[in-house]
Every structure is written in structure tokens, then in C-alpha cells.
């Protein structure tokens, strides 16, 4: 199990000025934020990032949403990062997310669900490299 995962604070949460609150939750939860920046994804970038979902009925709406405003990709460091992070953010659908999780407290809907998290170590590595070069990741 790896120590790094890729998170994104999605456009819904950035728009509502939840960025600081969400980052603080991660820090208080024992995660280190070792890279972060605001980025307004192009359609091409969003389609590439979510290519695995391209046959899903929600794909076009997801791309519209993810390109609707700036988001904040970041790299989180934690022991067993992928699993720890996913537990911390809660289920994809906020109505199913456990109490005290980020999605339960900040998400609007199954699509506008405040944050993204990598689903495996293999994808974490790919997704981190999608947004950040090695020299942009700063171990604290």
C-alpha cells in the first residue's frame, strides 16, 4: 500500500468557498497536503482524466460539471493513503456517506460530490502524474 493519493476539490465545493474548510479537515485528519493548485480543466483534460467512465450515461454531465469552474487537484500523504482517504471522504453518493465524512458535510449530489479520490494505488500514481511533476510535490 502506498503513501500518496490524488484528491480533487471539485468545482461545486470551490464555488461555495469550501476549499479552506475541506483542506483543514484533511490536515486535522492526519493527512499531509504535499502539492495543490487551482486549475480550470479544459474539456480535453477532463475527458482524459475520466476516460474510464466514457461509456457511462453520466459521462457528458460529469465533463460539463468538471469544466464548469476551477477545481483544486492536490496530493495527500498518509499511511495506506488510498484507503484512508476514501474512508475519510465517504461514499460517492452523499446520502450514503457516513456521518462526519467530507461528502456527507459538503457534497450536493452524487455528481457534485465535493471531492475526488483515487481508487487504487495504481490509479493514484497515474492521477498524481496527470496533474503534478515530481518537483511539484513537497514532502513536509
Report the interface residues with ligand CMP, using CB under 6 A: 53, 58, 62, 92, 110-111, 113, 116
Note if 116 is an active site residue. yes
Least gap, CB of 66 to ligand CMP (angstroms): 8
Q: Which lies closer to ligand CMP via its Cβ, residue 25 or residue 116?
A: 116
CB of 17 to ligand CMP, least distance (A): 20
Instruction: Count Cβ atoms within 10 A of the Cβ of residue 108 and give its class: 0-12 exposed, 13-18 middle, 19 or more buried.
Output: middle
Of 23 and 112, CB closest to ligand CMP = 112
Amino acid at each position: 500500500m502506498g503513501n500518496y493519493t490524488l484528491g480533487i476539490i471539485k468545482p461545486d465545493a470551490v464555488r461555495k468557498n469550501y476549499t479552506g474548510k475541506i483542506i483543514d479537515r484533511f490536515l486535522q485528519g492526519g493527512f499531509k497536503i504535499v502539492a495543490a493548485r487551482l486549475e480550470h480543466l479544459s474539456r480535453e483534460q477532463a475527458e482524459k482524466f475520466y476516460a474510464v467512465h466514457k461509456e457511462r450515461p453520466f459521462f457528458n454531465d460529469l465533463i460539463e460539471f468538471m469544466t464548469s469552474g476551477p477545481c483544486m487537484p492536490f496530493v495527500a500523504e498518509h499511511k495506506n493513503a488510498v484507503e484512508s482517504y476514501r474512508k475519510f471522504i465517504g461514499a460517492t453518493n452523499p446520502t450514503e456517506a457516513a456521518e462526519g465524512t467530507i461528502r456527507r458535510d459538503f457534497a450536493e449530489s452524487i455528481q457534485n460530490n465535493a471531492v475526488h479520490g483515487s481508487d487504487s494505488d495504481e490509479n493514484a500514481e497515474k492521477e498524481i502524474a496527470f496533474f503534478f511533476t515530481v518537483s511539484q510535490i513537497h514532502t513536509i
